[in-house]
Amino acid sequence: MEMIQIKKCDVSVCVYNKQNMCHTFGITVGSHAECNTYNHGSQSGGFDGVTGGVGACLAADCKFNDQLECRAPAISVEGHSVHADCATFERRK
Ligand code: SF4
């Protein structure tokens, strides 16, 4: 089983963001589909050669969620007000 990749993140003020890509190994997505790894600071984080993935996701009502793990083909993350959200979230019917 492979970690789900983050294909794009437009939250350029996050310490792990470079050129609209996430560079930490694995983010945690919270119960409201927010990226809990988002951090606004002056220090740059992550490694250039790393493409971010979803380490865990607590959004149990997303249709891609299976046992609190993400099983989407890939996700994207977008800024929303003062936080970052998983833009691939789709509420389970
Ligand atoms: S697509 Fe759904 S399961 Fe995957 S990270 Fe986003 S909210 Fe979580």
The per-residue pLDDT for 80 is 87
Minimum-distance ligand 1 atom for the alpha carbon of 69: 3
Distance, in Å, from the CA atom of 83 to the CA atom of 22, rounded to the nearest integer, reads 15
Q: Where are the domains of the chain?
A: 4-86
pLDDT band (50, 70, 90) for residue 45 = very high
Cα 59 → chain centroid: 12
pLDDT per position as a tens digit, 58-88: 999 999 999 999 999 999 999 988 899 999 9
Distance, in Å, from the CA atom of 77 to the CA atom of 54, rounded to the nearest integer, reads 11
The per-residue pLDDT for 48 is 94
Cα–ligand 1 centroid distance for 19 (angstroms): 22
Q: Whose CA is nearest to atom 7 of ligand 1?
A: 89
From 29, 67, 76, mutation site for ligand 1 pocket: most ligand atoms within 8 A of C-beta: 29
Give the three-class secondary structure for 9: strand
The per-residue pLDDT for 1 is 86
